[in-house]
Amino acid sequence: MAENKRDYYEVLGLQKGASDDEIKKAFRKMAMKYHPDKNPGDKKAEEQFKQVNEAYSVLSDPEKKSKYDRFGHAGVDPNAGFGGAGGGFGGFGAGGFEDIFDMFGGMFGGGGSRQRRRNGPIKGNDLQKAMTITFEEAAFGTKKEIQINKYVECETCSGTGAQPGTSKKTCGKCGGTGEVHTTQRTPFGTFQSSSPCPDCGGTGQINEHPCGDCGGTGKVRKSVTISVDIPAGVDNDSVISIKGQGEPGSNGGPNGDLYVVLTVRPHKLFERKGQDLWLEIPITFDQAALGDDITVPTLEGKVSYKVPAGTQPNTVFRLKGKGVKSVRSSRKGDLYVRVILEVPTKLSGKQKKAIQNMAKEVKNDCYKRKSGFLDSMKEFFS
C-alpha cells in the first residue's frame, strides 16, 4: 500500500524541494552505498537499493516529481484510484486527478502543459561500474581499461532506427506534435485535454521501414572497452565520472554518463587515514634503550630514521610529506610510524643469564615510569 511506503525524499536523504542536481548526487551516493556488489547476500541492503532506485525513478522525472510533490505516493501510483466513486469524483472516468487538472487547466489557459512531449530530446541512461585497484595505483594514479556491456548507437542506421536509404515520416494523425487533443462537454463548460498520439506513441514520427539490426530502436547492445584515467590520491568509494560514456539518448538527446566506483585493496604494511599513512615497526629492547638507525619503508622507497635513546613503546614518529597526495591539490599527507617494543622469546640458557645480569645492573631508578609507579604503590599501602 502507498501509505506504507517511505517518503522518497527521506530515502535519498533530502528535503522536499531538492534540486535536480541534489537528487542526482544523492542517488549516486546511496546507490553506491547499497549496491549488491558491495553488499553480497545482505537482504537489507538489497531492499534499500530497490527503494533508492524507486525513489530516483520518480524524483528524476519532472512530471512524476510534480505529481508526487502534490499528492504523495498516490500521485504516482497507477492503482491509487483517484477516479471513480471511491475517489469522490465520479463521472470523470479512470483518468483521475490528472484529467481533472488538464480540463480545469484549459479553463484557466494552462491547456495540456502538464503533458510532456515524447518527441523532445531525452538524455541517455547513466551507467555505473565497479573497479578494484591496488593501494599504489590509488596513491600514484594510473590508467586502466574496463569492459562494459551497454546500448550503443546502431552503426547500420546511425541511430535513426530506419533502414538505410529510408527515413521516418511525420505522423499524419498528430502532425508531428506527438499529441492529440480531445474536447469534452461537462456541466462546467467545454474543456480540451491532450494525450500522447496513439499512432506514433507520442514520438511524432512513423517508422515504416525499421532497421533490421536494431529493430527500429536506433540502439544495439554491445561490449565496449573504455579507458579510465585514475588521478593520484583516490580512495575507497571514490567516483570517477566519464561524460558521454553512458547509453545513447533519444530524439537528439545527449548520451548518459558513466560513473566508475573504486575499491582499493588494503596494503600489507600501510594503513591509510585520509591523506596520511600509518605504519608499525617492531624494535628491540636495546634499540629502544640505546637508540639506533632504523630503515623505514615509504611508498616512494626506503628512508633511514634515527630512533633516540630511551624511546618508549608505542611512541609515534612523524615523517612529513611521506603520505598520499590530495586529489584536489599538490599537498601530500604525512607518514606516522609507531614503534612496537618486541620482547624476545625462545631464549637459550646463556641468553637468559645475560638478561638476568643486565637486570641486576639496571636498577629500578633507571625506569622512570616503573620508579614512579613503585613510589605511588608504597604511598597507597602506607
Residues annotated in a binding site for Zn(2+):
154, 157, 171, 174, 197, 200, 211, 214
CB neighbour class for 66 (10 Å; exposed up to 12, middle 13-18, buried from 19)? middle
Any idea what the Cα angle at residue 208 is, between residues 203 and 209, rounded to 5°?
115
Binding site, annotated residues: 154, 157, 171, 174, 197, 200, 211, 214
Q: Cell 479512470 sits at which residue?
A: 94
b (16+ CB within 10 A) / e for 207-216: bebbbeebeb
Cα gap 280→282, rounded to integer Å: 7
Q: 290: helix, coil or strand?
A: helix
Other beta carbons within 10 Å of 373 = 12
- Integer Cα distance of 88 and 160 in angstroms: 46
Gap between the Cα atoms of 295 and 303, Å rounded: 6
CA 328 centroid distance within chain: 19
Task: Tell me how far apart the alpha carbons of residues 367 and 127 are, in angstroms, rounded to a whole number.
Answer: 63
Q: Which long-range contacts (CB under 8 A, 24 or more apart) does 109-112 make?
A: 111/192, 111/194, 112/179, 112/181, 112/192, 112/193, 112/194, 112/195
Q: Which amino acid is at 90?
A: G
